[in-house]
Chains A and B, each alone.
Chain A
Amino acid sequence: AQSVTQLGSHVSVSEGALVLLRCNYSSSVPPYLFWYVQYPNQGLQLLLKYTSAATLVKGINGFEAEFKKSETSFHLTKPSAHMSDAAEYFCAVRRSGAGSYQLTFGKGTKLSVIP
């Protein structure tokens, strides 16, 4: 079975500062990894995904994430935070293989951006 741990339920950064949101996973087989963002009163939107093609994955809105197998991590970063980045971010894992519909989500990290 796979699981996801997001360190820090709430992260605050100043506008223009580096954003780092941490995600560690456990999976018995090579996983597919995802980051989603949820703005208030909205559903989840896919930011980026790792599917083994490249360890550094670029997503939308200037976000990127690096898959590190040795550390079982998939941390999300953005060089310079913008006020519009304030939202909740979810890391998710899905096992590879047939019939693997289930996404296992972390508990989420709420990002606040201070002007």
Chain B
Amino acid sequence: ETGVTQTPRHLVMGMTNKKSLKCEQHLGHNAMYWYKQSAKKPLELMFVYSLEERVENNSVPSRFSPECPNSSHLFLHLHTLQPEDSALYLCASSQDPAGLSSYNEQFFGPGTRLTVL
């Protein structure tokens, strides 16, 4: 595997289900991100982890719970979601953990298309 991978690619869940999204980066990066991409809205940054420590949490509802067990893996645990949470969830990674470098470009995975019924 190369780059950033995400599983599953598609997920349909009911409002009472609990599921998890998985992201793995094979780039040796130190920072990982979760984004939400909804139709007709800009990409929204949800969480940032740097060296496995959460450094940003952009007012995301508690029904979304991130986990970063090591610098290569990132999870997004989902529970009691709402239909408006249906979206494409994108994971990304970047090299620089301090966000200092001008070359701290983010590499994205293909996303998980989530549908909440």
Contacts and interface: CB of A to CB of B under 8 A. Distances in A.
Contacts, number: 65
A108 B38 CA distance: 12
B111 A43 contact: yes
Interface stretch (A20-28, A62-70, A92-100): A92-100
Contacts of A89: none
Interface in B69-117: 90, 92, 94, 98-100, 102-111
A49 B4 contact: no
A51 B103 CA distance: 8
B55 interface: yes
Contacts of A106: 42
B56 A43 contact: no
A103 B108 contact: no
Given A43-B90, A103-B43, 4 more contacts: A90-B43, A97-B100, A100-B100, A102-B58
19 contacts: A32-B102, A42-B110, A42-B111, A43-B6, A43-B90, A43-B110, A44-B92, A46-B105, A49-B105, A51-B103, A90-B43, A98-B98, A100-B99, A101-B48, A103-B106, A104-B42, A105-B43, A107-B40, A108-B42
